[in-house]
């Protein structure tokens, strides 16, 4: 029988073969010329692999060591969660501007090597695969319609607009701009011609898909944005690794939000005495002295914030391996969703970790709320966690895998840790930190409320004067957007992008705060154990041991953290 480690490694290779886009994101060495088959037959093949791997895990020899013990539990939960999502038909209505196949396929080109003519030859081949890839994706969406599983009309129109943004007007759009950079790598005229032609075909494929979504899919899509409890719980098992008590989580989210609003009021008073939060927010986003001007200046500033955190925390709160001290800040193309995100280093660490900060067409960038985001995405957040996991002794799948509640919970915990350490040095940036956490608490109540129809409580309706939500009434799309502006301080266009994201990805928005809660409970248990044993709590050592657990669902993570 193969060992758990062997099953884990084989699973990664086989998924990367079936899903090259995911393989590229993992940084796994695989065929760089192919794209994922998002057609019904592609998903059928993935479902067969998931079932076969679960059977192999069940028949495997007992774990040989701690890495295999952790890895077996992780892989079982990870695979079963994805299988559950496929089984209820979610891949047949996967319309999302963040994680849908159109967005994932476009973004895979951001991760590819492009320094040599050989690299660009791979890109040309992968670009030629775009039309077939989008046709397969469309076939799955059509199957969803045929099976009575339409996505929401709102999501269809959002993805249609995204596709149109990237498609251009017969010039290859984003793809044409991308391949123009091949000249810097010294490609010859023949290869450049192939790249230009492939880019035009890729742009046309996105334009065709967008037009179909707008003109044919959207008119017969459902007007219902909500997933309902059953679909929501299937996503929660996959993304959070637990069965959610929806009523408890909803009530807790409201209480946490109220706590954070009280803290926000104190910082607002320090910035602009007597003013409301919205008035303070207006000052912070309009004062030229509180902004960076120009995209490159913004990127350079974010890089300096990232580098300062790495230098200041290394050897003090964490021992950061020299191989992962680099984290590059990048700007994604227009058409991307508004939220910042992180991509981990490749499996061999040759490609560094990268944080991505969308500009959404802006050229002036208020900085009050981006310091906390930089800590969340880079160090001590996603980059420290994700890159460290590449180095510790774990099974291969656990090194490369990701559980939203584990990863996002740590990143939110990292922001709180930086507050505890005094890194938010001005009232502006501390208010940004508090807003980031209020935003995540608001996500819990908005996401559960929108998807499961839970009503707005009286305490919530009165939390923000002037908000349109009414006690005892269900959530609305526009009310949720306004709620996010008032809780997190984000601009309305960003808030709308956030709500679209939540509606396309049930339960993921709750992963941040519910994951952070599990990390905090684990640390509190360790502190209590140290006090009970009459010794000082070693926070740095606890962090090292906690990160070394690798990704786990919340149910397993809570149990493991309590024991380290």
The residue ranges of DSSP E strands in 183-314, in sequence order, are: 291-293
User: Could you give the percent of the chain with pLDDT greater than 90?
Assistant: 94
Q: What CA–CA distance (Å, rounded) separates 257 from 513?
A: 10
Domains of the chain, by residue range, sit at 4-225, 237-510
Question: What mean pLDDT is predicted for residues 164-193?
Answer: 95
- Which two three-digit tokens encode residue 382? 């996603």
How would you write 75-139 as a 3-class SS string? HHHHHHHHHHHHHCCHHHHCCCCCCCHHHHHHHHHHHCCCCCHHHHHHHHHHHHCHHHHHHHHHH
Q: What CA–CA distance (Å, rounded) separates 429 from 411?
A: 17
Assign 355 to helix, strand or coil: strand
Question: Phi and psi of 327, rounded to 5°?
Answer: -140, 115
Residue, of 335 and 192, whose pLDDT is higher: 192
Query: What one-character-per-residue DSSP string does 141-187 give?
Result: HHHHHHTT-PPBHHHHHHHHHHHHHHH-SSS-HHHHHHHGGGGGGT-
Question: What mean pLDDT is predicted for residues 139-145?
Answer: 98
Q: What pLDDT sits at residue 193?
A: 97
Q: Is 360 left (phi over 0), alpha (psi -120 to 50) or beta?
A: left
65 pLDDT above the threshold of 80:
yes
Question: What tens digit of pLDDT does each residue of 6-64 get?
Answer: 999 999 999 999 999 999 999 898 899 999 999 999 999 999 999 999 999 999 999 99
Q: What pLDDT sits at residue 157?
A: 98
494 pLDDT above the threshold of 90:
no
How are beta strands 291-293 and 341-343 bridged, if at all?
unpaired
Q: What CA–CA distance (Å, rounded) separates 470 from 483?
A: 12
341: which strand partners? 356
- Reported pTM: 0.92
Q: Which residue has the tokens 């001590």?
A: 380
Q: How would residue 337 be classed by pLDDT, with cut points 50, 70 and 90? A: low
Question: Phi and psi of 129, rounded to 5°?
Answer: -85, -10
- Note if the bond before 380 is cis, omega within 30 degrees: yes
- Which two three-digit tokens encode residue 30? 């695989």
For the ranges 26-30, 284-288, 516-520, which has the lowest average pLDDT?
26-30
DSSP summary character for residue 392? S
487 pLDDT above the threshold of 70:
yes
Q: What CA–CA distance (Å, rounded) separates 482 from 467?
A: 7
Residue 528 CB partners (closer than 8 Å, separation 6+): none
Q: What pLDDT sits at residue 1?
A: 81
412 pLDDT above the threshold of 80:
yes
Residue 83 CB partners (closer than 8 Å, separation 6+): 47, 50, 51, 54
106 pLDDT above the threshold of 70:
yes
Q: How would residue 113 be classed by pLDDT, with cut points 50, 70 and 90? A: very high
Q: What CA–CA distance (Å, rounded) separates 128 from 125?
A: 5
222: which strand partners? 152
Question: What mean pLDDT is predicted for residues 97-115?
Answer: 95
User: Could you give the percent of the chain with pLDDT greater than 70?
Assistant: 100
Q: How would residue 476 be classed by pLDDT, with cut points 50, 70 and 90? A: very high
- Pick the closest to residue 549 from 541, 537, 557, 538 (CA basis): 557
DSSP summary character for residue 489? -
490 pLDDT above the threshold of 90:
no
Q: For residues 370 and 348, is the Cβ–Cβ distance under 8 A?
A: no
What's the length of the chain? 564
Question: What mean pLDDT is predicted for residues 403-413?
Answer: 97
272 pLDDT above the threshold of 80:
yes
Q: How would residue 422 be classed by pLDDT, with cut points 50, 70 and 90? A: very high
Considering the chain, what is the average pLDDT of its residues?
A: 96
């Amino acid at each position: 029988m193969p060992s758990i480690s062997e099953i884990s490694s084989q699973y990664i290779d086989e998924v990367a073969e079936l899903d090259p886009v995911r393989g590229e994101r993992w940084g796994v060495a695989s065929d760089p010329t192919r794209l994922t088959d998002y057609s019904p037959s592609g998903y059928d093949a993935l479902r067969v692999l998931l079932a076969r791997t679960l059977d192999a895990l069940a028949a495997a020899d007992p774990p040989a060591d701690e890495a295999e013990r952790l890895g077996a539990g992780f892989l079982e939960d990870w695979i079963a969660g994805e299988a559950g999502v496929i089984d209820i038909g979610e891949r047949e209505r996967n319309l999302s501007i963040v994680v849908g196949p159109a967005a994932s396929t476009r973004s895979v080109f951001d991760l590819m090597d492009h320094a040599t003519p050989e690299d660009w030859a791979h890109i040309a081949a992968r670009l030629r695969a775009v039309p077939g890839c989008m046709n397969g994706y469309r076939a799955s969406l059509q199957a969803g319609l045929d099976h009575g599983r339409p996505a929401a009309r709102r999501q269809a129109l959002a993805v249609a607009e995204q596709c149109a943004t990237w498609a251009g007007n017969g010039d290859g759009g984003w793809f044409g701009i991308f391949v123009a950079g091949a000249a810097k790598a010294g490609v010859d005229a023949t290869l450049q011609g192939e790249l230009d032609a492939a880019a035009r075909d890729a742009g046309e494929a996105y334009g065709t898909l967008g037009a179909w979504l707008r003109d044919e899919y959207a008119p017969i899509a459902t007007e219902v944005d909500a997933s309902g409890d059953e679909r929501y719980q299937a996503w929660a098992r996959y993304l959070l690794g637990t069965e959610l008590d929806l009523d408890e989580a909803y009530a807790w989210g409201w209480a946490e939000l109220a706590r954070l609003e009280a803290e926000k009021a104190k910082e607002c008073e320090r910035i602009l005495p007597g003013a409301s939060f919205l008035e303070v927010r207006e000052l912070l986003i309009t004062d030229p002295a509180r902004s960076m001007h120009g995209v490159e200046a913004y990127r350079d500033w974010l890089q300096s914030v990232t580098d300062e955190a790495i230098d200041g925390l290394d050897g003090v709160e964490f021992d950061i391996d020299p191989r992962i001290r680099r984290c590059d800040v990048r700007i994604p193309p227009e058409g991307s969703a508004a939220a910042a995100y992180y991509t981990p280093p490749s499996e061999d660490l040759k490609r560094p970790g990268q944080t991505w900060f969308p500009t959404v067409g802006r050229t002036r960038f208020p900085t009050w709320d981006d310091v906390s985001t930089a800590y969340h995405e880079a160090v001590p957040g996603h980059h420290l966690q994700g890159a460290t996991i590449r180095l510790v002794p774990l099974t291969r799948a656990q090194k490369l895998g990701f559980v939203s509640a584990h990863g996002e919970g740590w990143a939110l915990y990292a922001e709180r840790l930086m507050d505890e350490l005094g890194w938010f040095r001005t009232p502006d940036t501390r208010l940004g930190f508090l807003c980031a956490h209020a935003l995540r608490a608001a996500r819990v109540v908005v996401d559960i409320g929108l998807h499961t129809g839970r009503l707005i409580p009286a305490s919530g309706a009165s939390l923000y004067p002037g908000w349109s939500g009414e006690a005892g009434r269900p959530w609305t799309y526009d009310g949720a957007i306004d709620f996010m502006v008032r809780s997190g301080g984000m601009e309305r266009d960003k808030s709308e992008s956030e709500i679209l994201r939540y509606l396309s990805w049930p339960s993921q928005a709750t992963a941040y705060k519910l994951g952070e809660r599990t990390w905090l409970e684990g640390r509190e248990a360790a502190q209590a154990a140290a006090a009970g044993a009459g010794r000082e709590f070693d926070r740095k050592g606890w962090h090292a041991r906690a990160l070394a657990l690798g990704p786990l669902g919340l149910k397993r993570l809570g149990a493991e953290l309590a024991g380290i």
